[in-house]
Amino acid sequence: MSRILVTGGGGFLGSRLVERLEGEGHDVVAARRSEHDLTSMQDTERLFAETGPELVFHLAAEVGGIGANRANPGRYWYANLIMGAHVLEQARLHGTPKLAIVGTVCAYPKLTPVPFREDELWNGYPEETNAPYGVAKKTILVGAQAYREQYGTNAIFLLPTNLYGPGDNFDLATSHVIPALVRKMIESPAEIVLWGDGSPTREYLYVEDCVDGLVAAAELYDGPEPVNLGTGVETSISETAELVAEAVGFEGSIVWDTSMPNGQPRRSLDPSRARELFGWTARTPLREGIARTVASFRAAVA
């Protein structure tokens, strides 16, 4: 049994990770913003002093879809950068044995060759609509590697692709592609309007598969290099809409608003490093994961 701290422990991914770790018998502290504001060094120090963790999963983030990123570029840059810096510094000061930091696929350059390989991370600037968020997260990777070199901090850095699944954020102002599609199609069965032209591609990772990857990395990986967590399956936004429509039973029309941005042109990760370094492979097919997501949303609003 270990004493484990999960920042962002009340969030979509964090709550699933906490549930998994508690089920394995660990002593888990789920840090929530209402109790500890990680943009405050004082609050972050208090959190580490109170918990004395042997392992930290840093999942806390301020994040959303294209609209939320366009509305909050300064906030997303500042909050994500400063939270990561504070967690790294307090892990150093408290001698935390291991720190697993969750980054973002948005850190990759806009025109990264597909599939995205970790070695391409610095070969260009991220897609403009989410660049402040992506750059902030990527800067934490630099910090983790620098702390490892100077202080011996065992901090690993993981790059999950777009997450989805039951319990996702379905708020249309801040949600990502799949939960937004699910809600729109259920609430507006005649017609929905989607941004862009449907051509961009995305890769989706079922939340439970991501939890498996985080746990496997924490147990088996101790290196400085970032590691992708993804499926390697590239799906266009229009194809995603068709899959969600099938799961929902949506028979209305889809209107593409081409005056709005497409976002990243293509996005799909090379997951081979995770498989080679700690034996992790995503297992949930997209159609099956979407069906579970739809069912969970309907149950929540029933």
Q: Is 26 helix (H, G, I), strand (E, B) or coil?
A: coil
Residue 20, number of CB atoms within 10 A of its CB: 16
- Report which of 90, 85, 83 is spatially closest to residue 33, judged by C-alpha positions: 83
**Is residue 117 predicted with pLDDT exceeding 70?**
yes
Note the pLDDT of residue 242.
Answer: 97
Determine the length of the chain.
302
| DSSP conformation class of 120 | G
Please report the beta strands in the chain, taking only residues with DSSP state E, as ranges in sequence order.
3-7, 27-31, 55-58, 98-102, 155-160, 162-164, 191-195, 201-202, 204-206, 227-229, 235-236, 253-257
Active-site residue, from 76, 108, 133, 204: 133
**Is residue 1 predicted with pLDDT exceeding 80?**
no
CA–CA distance, 23 with 4 (Å, rounded to integer) = 13
Percent of the chain with pLDDT over 70: 100
Q: Which residue has the higher pLDDT, 243 or 68?
A: 243
CB of 70 closer than 8 Å to CB of 133:
no
pTM: predicted TM-score of the whole model, two decimal places: 0.95
Note the pLDDT of residue 67.
Answer: 87
**Is residue 252 predicted with pLDDT exceeding 90?**
yes
69 burial level (CB within 10 Å; 0-12, 13-18, 19+): buried
Task: Look at strands 253-257 and 3-7 and give their pairing.
Answer: unpaired
Note the pLDDT of residue 64.
Answer: 84
Question: Quick one: average pLDDT of 27-42?
Answer: 95
Quick: pLDDT tens for 214-241.
999 999 999 999 999 999 999 999 999 9
In the CATH scheme, what is the code of domain 3-168+204-233+267-284? 3.40.50.720
**Is residue 63 predicted with pLDDT exceeding 90?**
no
Quick: pLDDT tens for 267-280.
999 999 999 999 99
Banded model confidence at residue 302, pLDDT cuts 50, 70, 90: confident
Collect all residues with Cβ–Cβ distance below 8 Å to 289 and sequence separation of at least 6: 164, 165, 204, 206
Note the pLDDT of residue 83.
Answer: 98
Q: Which residue has the higher pLDDT, 1 or 289?
A: 289
Question: Quick one: average pLDDT of 25-50?
Answer: 96
What DSSP string describes 158-169?
EEE-EEE-TT--
Note if the bond before 115 is cis, omega within 30 degrees.
yes
Give the start-to-end residue ranges of the domains of the chain.
3-168+204-233+267-284
**Bridge partners for 206 per DSSP:** 164
- 133 among known catalytic residues: yes
Note the pLDDT of residue 92.
Answer: 98
Residue 301, number of CB atoms within 10 A of its CB: 10
**Bridge partners for 29 per DSSP:** 5
46 burial level (CB within 10 Å; 0-12, 13-18, 19+): middle
